[in-house]
Amino acid sequence: MTETTQTQTSGLLPRPGGLRGVAADWASDQRTFKSVSWGKAMMWIFLLSDTFVFGCFLIAYMTARMSTVVPWPNPSEVFALTIAGHEIPLILIAIMTFVLISSSGTMAMAVNFGYRRDRRKTAALLLVTALFGATFVGMQAFEWTKLITEGVRPWGNPWGAAQFGSSFFMITGFHGTHVTFGVIFLLIIARKVLRGDFDVERRGFFTSRKGNYEIVEILGLYWHFVDLVWVFIFAFFYLW
């Protein structure tokens, strides 16, 4: 049974062109973003809010680094690893960054196969993404351990400004927490995909809403965001 209803705005007025047309589309009834589902809209707005959180963290760190009167430890030396007798600066961070960026690639593929309703490939790619994410967190734990054994603490370090350790642990810790939550949700969604929840529209345990493959894309938004944030942390903390 399909009936057609004219909305009040549509029939009465000619659709204006140019910017006015854009404004009229946005301001029209029901949905501001026409093809965007509620879940996706909510994730985008959450990410905007989260951008401000990371932005404040990074600006606070940069303020501390610029205003300190004692020398700031040299990141190239602090984050160097000695491999086979050669000291290679930033090698671990480079590998971590490579792993995380790769995970964005597998995530994007998972989204693609999700929309093709390819249950197995989607789940496999989500698991690979989760594995990359867990590897990243593992390497971060290694890095933390190394620095802690070298005497870096939140309240001080052997090489200079105390804010180096505090900013490092706070920012990478907060980012690592984001990655960890991402991995947990990747595993949950991978399980749901594998079980076929989204093919039969099984209802969520908490929300009792019908599930569908779009959740893979929404999770993907979050995952790409966390990767993007890492690029900024990499640039501002390690390369500066």
Partner 1 sequence: MVEIQSGIGTAIPPAETEDMELYHPKSWWTKYVFSQDAKIIAIQYSLTAIAIGLVALVLSWLMRLQLAFPGAFTFIDAERYYQFITMHGMIMVIYLLTALFLGGFGNYLIPLMIGARDMVFPYANMLSYWVYLLAVLVLAASFFAPGGPTGAGWTLYPPQAVLSGTPGGQDWGIILMLSSLILFIIGFTMGGLNYVVTVLQARTRGMTLMRMPLTIWGIFTATVMALLAFPALFVAAVMMLFDRVLGTSFFMPALVEMGTLLPHQGGSPLLFQHLFWFFGHPEVYIVALPAFGIVSDLISTHARKNIFGYRMMVWAIVIIGGLSFIVWAHHMYVSGMNPAFGFFFATTTLIIAVPTAIKVYNWVLTLWRGDIHLTLPMLFALAFIVTFVNGGLTGLFLGNVVVDVPLSDTMFVVAHFHMVMGIAPIMVIFGAIYHWYPKITGRMLNETMGQIHFWITFLGAYAIFFPMHYLGLMGVPRRYHEMGETIFNPPSAHMLNIFITVMALVVGAAQIVFLFNLAWSLRKGKPAGGNPWRATTLEWQTPQTPPVHGNWGKELPVVYRWAYDYSVPGAAEDFIPQNQPAPDRLSRGALA
Question: Which pair of structure tokens corresponds to residue 113?
Answer: 């196969």
Q: Which of 37, 102, 112, 180 binds partner 1 (CB under 8 A)?
A: 37
Main-chain dihedrals φ then ψ at residue 35, nearest 5 degrees: -100, 15
Give 178's contacts (C-beta < 8 A, 6+ positions apart): 226, 229
- Region from 34-42, 95-103, 114-122, 138-146 binding partner 1, contact rule CB under 8 A: 34-42
- For partner 1, the closer of residues 127 and 179 by Cβ is 179
Q: Which of 18, 19, 67, 84 binds partner 1 (CB under 8 A)?
A: 67
Q: Let me know if 47 is exposed, middle or buried by CB neighbors in 10 A (0-12, 13-18, 19+).
A: middle
Main-chain dihedrals φ then ψ at residue 154, nearest 5 degrees: -60, -30
Find how far residue 186's CA is from the centre of its chain: 12
102 scored as a contact of partner 1 (CB under 8 A): no
Q: Which of 20, 22, 26, 150 binds partner 1 (CB under 8 A)?
A: 26
d(CA 85, CA 80): 12
- Region from 27-35, 84-92, 136-144, 223-231 binding partner 1, contact rule CB under 8 A: 27-35
Question: Which pair of structure tokens corresponds to residue 9?
Answer: 């705005």
Q: Which of 18, 27, 86, 149 binds partner 1 (CB under 8 A)?
A: 27
Count Cα atoms within 13 angstroms, Cβ side, for 235.
Answer: 7
48 scored as a contact of partner 1 (CB under 8 A): yes
Contact criterion met (CB below 8 Å) for 196 and 18: no
Give 138's contacts (C-beta < 8 A, 6+ positions apart): none
149 scored as a contact of partner 1 (CB under 8 A): no
Shortest reach from residue 98's CB to partner 1, in Å:
29
38 scored as a contact of partner 1 (CB under 8 A): yes
Footprint of partner 1 (CB under 8 A): 1-15, 26-34, 36-39, 41-42, 45-46, 48-50, 52-53, 55-57, 60, 63-64, 67-70, 154-155, 161-163, 165-166, 170, 174, 206-210
